[in-house]
Amino acid sequence: MAIIVDSETRLVVQGITGREGSFHAARNKAYGTNVVAGVTPGKGGGDVDGIPVFDSVREAVAETSPNTAMVFVPARFAADAIYEAVDAGIETVICITEGIPAHDMLRVYNYVYPRGVTLVGPNCPGVLSPGKANVGIIPAEIFREGNVGLVSRSGTLTYQIGHELAQLGVGQSTIVGIGGDPVVGSSFLDVLARFERDPETEYVVMVGEIGGAEEEKAASFIEAEMTKPVIAYIAGFTAPPGKTMGHAGAIISGTAGTAQAKKEALEAHGVRVGTNPTEVARLVAEVVGART
């Protein structure tokens, strides 16, 4: 089955005629993702790499029946692009755009959530289900098919851990980059619950970072709700308090939100935590080997 994207995904790319949109739409298509349409207002009637371009998502839906949208629209227009996709009946929206104001995303979240639409991002690398579909900027060639679900706030750490797992012969069911902004459409809890229900996922890796309390919430959820082994990694053990490190959401105040506090919370709920990406991959390989 995988989660969020799979062989049944029909993708429309919003902002497809831009540099990033056209490049990654073509890469996603080359991987095997069914990219059925693109949208750029005022440029309907053309195509990008054989993908038809429409002036609106509603037109694209009427002509090509997409069920998933990928947003590569500039930050000042990205919130409206998400609204447009939802209003057109799209079931899953994956927003790659970074720099969207938090207040805009608060409004977007409260609009999307009651409608039952899956929103991943913003400021995320997307979602990859190896061998089935790639929606986003994840370098799919370094991953392999398997039974380990991977959810992360960090794009590059996702790539590193996934690649190290693949080198150890451990493949992935789905890789989900939820994004590093303070307000995102899908939380660790949302994705962990999906992995728990997914029959193709037997193990889970969670990659967190400093700032906020999402990892602590996830720790409680894992102990109470999950039957599948979870291995975690927290980036930012050397980050100084009061500094934003990389992502807008990666800021700590005092002892709250530190890597050490998150590690202790996870371990207190029975989750093994690696101290670096290589150790995480090794821990997963040990768990997978012990259960096969």
Q: What is the pTM of this model?
A: 0.93
Report pLDDT digits (tens) over 39-66: 999 999 999 999 999 999 999 999 999 9
* First-residue to last-residue Cα distance in the chain: 21
pLDDT on residue 160: 92
CB atoms within 10 A of CB 172: 27
Please state, as a whole number, how many other Cβ atoms lie within 10 Å of the Cβ of residue 60: 27
What domains does the chain contain, in order, with CATH numbers?
Answer: 10-120 (3.40.50.720), 143-291 (3.40.50.261)
As annotated, the active-site residues are 247
| Residues present in the chain in total | 292
Please check whether residue 53 is in contact with residue 46, taking contact to mean a CB–CB distance below 8 angstroms: yes
> What whole-number distance in Å separates Cα of residue 157 and Cα of residue 283?
16
pLDDT digits (tens, 9 = 90+) for 234-279: 986 555 665 555 554 545 444 456 888 888 899 999 999 998 899 9
Distance of CA 148 to the CA centre of its chain: 15
Rg, C-alpha atoms of the chain: 19
What stretches of the chain show up as alpha helix (H) in DSSP?
19-31, 57-64, 75-87, 102-112, 155-167, 188-197, 214-225, 259-268, 277-291
pLDDT band (50, 70, 90) for residue 155: confident
Which residue do the tokens 């509603």 mark?
A: 58
What tokens appear for 282 in the block? 């090794």
The two tokens of residue 113 are 């959530």
Helix axes 155-167, 277-291, angle to 10 degrees: 50
Side chain identity, residue 19: R
Q: Is 67 helix (H, G, I), strand (E, B) or coil?
A: coil
Q: Please report the pLDDT score of residue 154 as a whole number.
A: 84
pLDDT-based confidence at residue 133 (cuts at 50, 70, 90)? very high
* Phi-psi region at 199: left, alpha or beta (left = phi > 0; alpha = psi -120 to 50): alpha
Residue 254: predicted pLDDT: 47
Q: Tens of pLDDT along 195-230?
A: 999 999 999 999 998 777 889 999 999 999 999 999
